[in-house]
Structure 1
Amino acid sequence: MTKADIIDVIATATGLTKVETEAVVDGFISTVINALKEGKSIEIRGFGSFKVKKRKGRVARNPRTGDRVLVDEHFVPYFKVSKELKNSVNANLSAAMPSAPPPLDQLKTEELGGEKGAAQDNQRKLDSTE
């Protein structure tokens, strides 16, 4: 869902025009951004909270050259989901999504490629190519 989709849904639900709704959505986003810039946190009960975390400086490595690079201490915004939202999403998606397949150790050996299992079968294939 994009910002434009959100604006369409809210405009339809409230009867506001898309221009009015866009102003409200932009105002919300600006308010959150400005509060985070000031180091404040924003809590929306039943939804979650926006906060700023401090990341320590560290030594990293440039993946292209392999050179060591110093990454300065910096701040990053993050969002923490409320328990209510997490539970609501899990309840809806758990009912809609198919269950996960059983763990490999619970599958019968025939399902894994015969008596010796898929891992040994794959190893035989690798050995035959050498």
Structure 2
Amino acid sequence: MNNKDFITELAQRTGYSADETQQFVNCVVEAMGDHFQDDDSVLIPTFGTFEVKKKMERIMVNPSTGQRMLVPPKLVLTFKPNVSWKERVKNGGAE
């Protein structure tokens, strides 16, 4: 499902126009991004949790050359789905 399909389906379900729905989705994503920049997690109770985690500095070995390199620390965005969603995906979408 691409963005256009998602917006179209969401607009049909909510009764808003596609333009209004696109603006709403953009606002939600922008607000989430603002929280991620502040290292805050975002919890959507019936869906899951988006969290910013820090990956520590580590040593990596290039398999082709055997050369060791230092990988600097970085922040990564992770998602932990709600238990019910995990089960739905695990069972092939059946509830």
Match in the other structure for 1:12: 12
Higher strand share: 2
Whole-angstrom distance in 1 between the partners of 2:50 and 2:70: 28
| Alignment check: 8 A CA contact 1:46 1:83 kept | no
Cα gap change, 1:63/1:30 in structure 2, threshold over 3 Å: closer, same or farther? farther
TM-score normalised to the size of structure 1?
A: 0.64
- The answer for the alignment partner of 2:41 in structure 1 is 41
TM-score normalized by structure 2? 0.84
Deviations 1:27-57 (A, max 9, x none): 1111111111100011111100000111110
- 1:86 is matched with 86
Runs of 4+ in structure 1 displaced over 4 angstroms? none
Which letter maps to 2:58? R
Alignment of 1:1-130 (within 5 A): 1-63=1-63, 65-91=65-91, 93=92
- Give 1:113's aligned residue: none
Q: Structure 2 regions of 5+ residues with no counterpart?
A: none
- Tell me: CA distance 1:44–1:61, structure 2 relative to 1, closer, same or farther (3 Å): same
Greater RCO, 1 or 2 (C-alpha within 8 Å, sep 6+): 2
Aligned to 1:103: none
Of Structure 1 and Structure 2, the greater helix share is in 1
Q: Is the 8 A contact 1:58 1:72 kept in 2?
A: yes
Cα shift at 1:94:
6.6
2:36 counterpart SS class: helix
Q: Over the residues paired in the alignment, what is the CA RMSD in angstroms?
A: 1.9
Provide the rounded CA distance (Å) in 1 between the counterparts of 2:29 and 2:54.
21
Cα distance in 2, alignment partners of residues 86 and 9 from structure 1: 23
Greater gyration radius: 1
